[in-house]
């Protein structure tokens, strides 16, 4: 029972992370233009660090 609830929580959290990453990439592609790739790399690495700290 507990394990199933933890799995559901984990999957919803992964979905939130995926939505956040896709929205970040959408914003970058609409605003940054040719700068979007290095900015995306930096922001994704920063985001992975914040997720790893949680």
Specify the range with the lowest mean pLDDT, choosing from 4-8, 24-28, 32-36, 42-46.
Answer: 32-36
Between CA 39 and CA 34 the distance in angstroms is: 10
Between CA 45 and CA 6 the distance in angstroms is: 26
How much is the pLDDT for 50? 86
Is the pLDDT at 49 greater than 80, yes or no?
A: yes
Mention every residue, 6+ apart, whose C-beta is less than 8 A from residue 44: 21, 24
Whole-structure pTM value: 0.37
Mention every residue, 6+ apart, whose C-beta is less than 8 A from residue 39: 28, 32
């Amino acid at each position: 029972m507990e394990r199933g609830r933890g799995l559901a929580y984990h999957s919803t959290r992964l979905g939130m992370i995926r939505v956040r990453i896709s929205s970040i990439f959408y914003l970058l592609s609409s605003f940054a233009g040719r700068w979007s790739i290095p900015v995306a790399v930096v922001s994704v690495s920063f985001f992975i660090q914040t997720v790893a700290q949680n």
